[in-house]
């Protein structure tokens, strides 16, 4: 597949600069510290509100829902700058990236009017409820079930590995609204918006290996979900969820999670006047450049409504490997003692990168699953 | 971008499919001249692409040319197409006469000597196709600098040699030979840089084509070959290789696409280097995985895979290598004042298109 080359307009460059300046100021004011993996592990509701005030959540959405009606390439630039600055955008990330587009595509007018302005303001956060205790990569095997009652549904079951559910207000939850028909597991699944503060919902944290909160188990015990909270068509949940995946897999967050470390490494090597090490680092720079091209090419095709499931899977599988390689190559080029509390920025970023890097190739579809998707795609093509 | 590009590419790919098969490449690797391939390109004026019509060319631009090189790489086309077209492209940029026949070139990293009587002497090594072509664009130094010169190879003594892929890489010796034409001024720094850049860009396009072919052959083989009662693409470990190959192919082709866009906009220095460095990695991964998928049959002479992997192993060492460009990038990073790497990378995209 041929992807278009990268072109940004003058206006887009100016926008990039505007975002960069804002982030520099906020960082200088101490509103945040640059961190690796900040898009998923840096949840900060105060910061999300600041971003919302700037009008930078729901950037591409219609103005009547609180959006700015800008292009998805503008959003790409915005996202890149958040990641490059290592800004704590995790609280609103899922709602901005996934819930908004989902509701715009499949939601009811009432759902849009109720949720989108709050999301855009940076005050309403979503989690994604997909994986279950016995359903990880084999996602369609979900067993959390919703039974019809008058005016809504009663949900029973459990979701796990739910990132940031402890900060989120709602969860887009994949549930079985029709029992397994014995033929195709993908049938009978629906997406429900579940209020995480509703009666019968229990959230219990699964701490990350750093000891910090990250994932959660979310239990549903006779949770009532009103009919108005069904997203799209009943039984169409699998397809609706798949539509989100190309966006989820091809974005800059699959390339730039450890960029702050690479930036710091180059700074350090420049300081040391270390040409030999910079030659090795040049490979990382070339890799970054090539991955960005691929990812932006996919973003352009997505904007035009093209089919990019395979290249999107490629961006994620190669991009996340690149993210993982940055700390490994860094330690070959400079002396470092990774420690989360380190005063040396490089040591701290090293620690964050290392500790979070195993997750890069697991979350959002493991590399093994992606390899399967790609291979089947190229064999069929 | 030339509007004719898609059409030219389609036509030329058909020509390559028709005239270049495994046997043609085998014969060429054994020193035979692939006249039928050369003739069909000549008859259709493809040899004159990217030389302006006023200079006797067929029109078109560097984008057309590099896209054609990608096809040359994809079919292992065994004629001095790249050398002839790129020599003429360079000659025209120097405002020197283009060659009407076949011509090759040699970068000034090895240069000849211009004697006081304006004759040329010296030895060039690893000159592509020298034994088969009529002329050469080379570089000769005198006390005043390095001068581009066009020479007839009739004047030279040629010792045949080959690269790993059996492509002719000959040793060429001139002894007080008269040149056909000399640039009146010495090669400027800008000209030298452009020359290095365009030569590497061409190698990048060739490598990208060979990578694509190795990927396509692997997919095809994985579909046809059965073991344990099913096609081998059904095995997850084989799928992993196919996915790696697909990824490298996608990266290679998108890098090339972006490199060409940068060339057209005149901001190519970094892009050509990044592409060269990334393709070095891609060629390693692709040759390893493609051979692994093909297993024993892929290492036999009978199979065509090696015509592409041996070319990758050869081309990655020719001209200015990834090692050279790593040094260039390192030096640029060291000496360019910038806020940080990220702002440097994103600022260098600043060639604006209209809103």
Which residue, among A361, A360, A341, A359, has the nearest Cα to A351 in the 3D structure? A341
Distance of residue B200 Cα from the nearest chain A Cα, in angstroms: 15
CATH number at residue A267: 1.20.140.10
CATH number at residue A67: 1.10.540.10
Give CA–CA dist B53/B164, Å, rounded.
Answer: 37
Domains detected in chain B: 1-79 (no CATH), 101-187 (2.40.110.10), 189-347 (1.20.140.10)
10 Å CB burial of residue A2 (0-12, 13-18, 19+) is exposed
Bridge partners of A231, per DSSP, are: A191
In a domain, A197, yes or no: yes
pLDDT tens-digit readout, A231-279: 999 999 999 988 777 777 889 999 999 999 999 999 999 999 999 999 9
Does A306 share its domain with A348? Answer: yes
Are B257 and A293 a contacting pair at CB < 8 A? yes
Enumerate residues 186 to 245 of chain B having a beta carbon within 8 A of any beta carbon in chain A. 219, 222-223, 233, 236, 238-240, 242-244
Q: A304-312 — which CB contacts under 8 Å span 24+ positions?
A: A308/A1, A308/A246, A308/A250, A309/A245, A309/A246, A309/A373, A309/A377, A310/A1, A310/A373, A310/A374, A310/A377, A310/A378, A310/A381, A310/B246, A311/A1, A311/A3, A311/A250, A311/B250, A312/A245, A312/A246, A312/A247, A312/A249, A312/A250
Quote the number of domains for chain A. Answer: 3
B236: left (phi over 0), alpha (psi -120 to 50) or beta: alpha
Does A51 share its domain with A106? Answer: yes
In a domain, A3, yes or no: no
Residue-number span of the structural domain to which A49 is assigned: 10-123
Does A188 share its domain with A208? Answer: yes
Cβ-nearest to B341 among A266, A293, A317: A266
Which pLDDT score, from 0 to 100, does residue B2 have?
A: 57
Does A94 share its domain with A214? Answer: no
Does A159 share its domain with A230? Answer: yes
Give CA–CA dist B221/B297, Å, rounded.
Answer: 10
pLDDT tens-digit readout, B37-87: 999 999 999 998 888 888 877 888 899 999 999 999 999 999 999 999 999
Give CA–CA dist A22/B255, Å, rounded.
Answer: 31
Give CA–CA dist B329/B85, Å, rounded.
Answer: 28
Name the pairing type of β-strands B169-177 and B120-128: antiparallel
Residue B351 has pLDDT above 70, yes or no: no
Which residue, among B94, B86, B155, B145, has the nearest Cα to B121 in the 3D structure? B155
User: Hey, is the C-beta of A24 within 8 angstroms of any chain B C-beta?
Assistant: no
User: Hey, is the C-beta of B274 within 8 angstroms of any chain A C-beta?
Assistant: yes
Q: In a mutagenesis test of the A interface, which of B246, B281, B293, B336 is the best target, namely the one with the most A β-carbons within 10 Å?
A: B246
Cβ-nearest to B327 among A20, A279, A374: A279
ipTM of the complex: 0.94
In a domain, A31, yes or no: yes
In a domain, A4, yes or no: no
Which residue, among B31, B25, B105, B19, has the nearest Cα to B310 in the 3D structure? B25
Distance of residue A369 Cα from the nearest chain B Cα, in angstroms: 10
Does A334 share its domain with A376? Answer: yes
Are B329 and A374 a contacting pair at CB < 8 A? no
Does A292 share its domain with A333? Answer: yes
Which residues does chain B have within 8 Å of residue A299's beta carbon, measured at their own beta carbons? none
Q: What string of pLDDT tens digits covers the 381 residues of chain A?
A: 678 888 899 999 999 999 999 999 999 999 999 998 888 888 899 999 999 999 999 999 999 999 999 998 999 999 999 999 999 999 999 999 999 999 999 999 999 999 999 999 999 999 999 999 988 778 888 999 999 999 999 999 999 999 989 999 999 999 999 988 878 888 999 999 999 999 999 999 999 898 888 899 999 999 999 999 999 999 999 999 887 777 778 899 999 999 999 999 999 999 999 999 999 999 999 999 999 999 999 988 888 888 888 999 999 999 999 999 999 999 999 999 999 999 999 999 999 999 999 999 998 889 999 999 999 999 998
In a domain, A331, yes or no: yes
In our burial notation (b when 16+ CB lie closer than 10 A, e otherwise), range A251-273 reads bbbbbbbbbbbbbbbbbbbbeee
Q: Which two tokens stand for residue A48?
A: 């999300």
User: Hey, is the C-beta of A105 within 8 angstroms of any chain B C-beta?
Assistant: no
Residue B6 has pLDDT above 60, yes or no: yes
């Amino acid at each position: 597949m041929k992807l278009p080359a990268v072109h940004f307009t003058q206006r887009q460059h100016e926008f990039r600069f505007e975002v960069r300046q804002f982030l520099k100021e906020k960082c200088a004011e101490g509103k945040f510290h640059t961190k690796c993996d900040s898009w998923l592990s840096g949840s900060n509701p105060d910061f999300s509100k600041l971003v919302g005030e700037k009008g930078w959540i729901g950037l591409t959405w219609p103005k009547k829902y609180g959006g700015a009606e800008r292009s998805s390439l503008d959003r790409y630039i915005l996202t890149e700058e958040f990641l490059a600055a290592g800004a704590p955008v995790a609280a609103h990330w899922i709602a901005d990236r996934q819930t908004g587009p989902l509701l715009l595509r499949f939601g009811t007018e009432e759902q849009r009017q109720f949720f989108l302005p709050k999301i855009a303001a940076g005050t309403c956060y979503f989690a994604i409820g997909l994986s279950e205790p016995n359903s990880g990569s084999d996602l369609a095997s979900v067993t959390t079930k919703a039974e019809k009652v008058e005016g809504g549904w009663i949900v029973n079951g459990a979701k796990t590995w739910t990132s940031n559910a402890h900060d989120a207000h709602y969860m887009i939850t994949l549930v079985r609204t029709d029992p397994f028909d014995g033929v195709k597991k993908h049938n009978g699944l629906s997406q429900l918006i579940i209020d995480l503060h509703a009666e019968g919902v229990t959230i219990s944290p699964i701490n990350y290996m750093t000891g910090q909160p990250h994932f959660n188990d979310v239990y549903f015990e006779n949770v009532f979900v009103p009919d108005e909270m069904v997203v799209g068509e009943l039984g169409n949940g699998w397809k609706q969820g798949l539509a989100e995946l190309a966006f989820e897999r091809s974005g800059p967050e699959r390339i730039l999670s450890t960029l702050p470390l690479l930036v710091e490494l180059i700074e350090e090597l420049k300081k040391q006047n270390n040409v030999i090490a910079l030659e090795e680092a040049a490979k990382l720079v070339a890799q970054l450049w090539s991955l960005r091209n691929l990812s932006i090419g996919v973003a352009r095709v997505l904007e035009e409504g093209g089919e990019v499931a395979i290249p999107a899977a490629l961006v994620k599988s190669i991009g996340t490997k690149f993210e993982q390689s940055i700390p490994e190559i860094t330690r070959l080029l400079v002396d470092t003692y990774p420690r989360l509390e380190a005063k040396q920025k490089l040591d701290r970023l090293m620690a964050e990168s290392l500790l979070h890097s195993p997750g890069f190739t697991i979350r959002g579809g493991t590399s093994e699953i992606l390899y399967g998707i790609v291979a089947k795609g190229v064999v069929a093509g | 971008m030339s509007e004719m590009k898609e059409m030219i590419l389609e036509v030329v790919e058909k020509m390559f499919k028709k005239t270049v098969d495994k046997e043609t490449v085998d014969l060429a690797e054994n020193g035979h001249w692939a006249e039928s391939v050369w003739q069909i390109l000549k008859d259709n004026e493809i040899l004159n692409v990217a030389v302006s019509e006023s200079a006797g060319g067929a029109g078109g631009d560097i984008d057309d040319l590099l896209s054609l090189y990608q096809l040359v790489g994809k079919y292992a086309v065994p004629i001095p197409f790249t050398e002839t077209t790129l020599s003429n492209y360079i000659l025209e940029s120097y405002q020197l006469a283009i060659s009407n026949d076949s011509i090759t070139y040699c970068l000034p990293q090895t240069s000849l000597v211009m004697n006081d009587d304006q004759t040329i002497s010296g030895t060039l090594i690893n000159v592509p196709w020298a034994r088969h072509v009529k002329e050469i664009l080379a570089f000769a130094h005198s006390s005043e600098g390095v001068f581009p010169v066009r020479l007839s190879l009739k004047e030279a003594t040629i010792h045949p040699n080959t690269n790993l892929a059996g492509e002719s890489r000959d040793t060429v010796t001139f002894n007080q030979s008269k040149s056909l034409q000399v640039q009146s001024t010495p090669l400027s720094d800008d000209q030298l840089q452009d020359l290095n850049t365009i030569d590497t860009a061409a190698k990048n396009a060739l490598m990208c084509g060979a990578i694509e072919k190795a990927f396509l052959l692997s997919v095809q083989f994985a579909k046809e070959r059965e073991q344990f009662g099913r096609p081998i693409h059904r095995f997850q470990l084989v799928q992993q290789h196919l996915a790696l190959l697909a990824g490298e192919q996608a990266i290679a082709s998108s890098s090339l696409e972006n490199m060409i866009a940068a060339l057209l906009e005149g901001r190519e220095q970094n892009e050509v280097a990044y592409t060269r460095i990334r393709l070095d990695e891609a060629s390693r991964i692709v040759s390893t995985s493609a051979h692994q998928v093909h297993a024993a049959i892929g290492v036999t002479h009978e199979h065509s895979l090696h015509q592409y992997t041996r070319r990758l192993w050869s081309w990655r060492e020719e001209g200015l290598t990834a090692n050279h460009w790593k040094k260039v990038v390192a030096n640029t990073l060291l000496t360019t004042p910038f806020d940080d790497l990220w702002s440097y990378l994103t600022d260098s995209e600043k060639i604006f298109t209209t809103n």
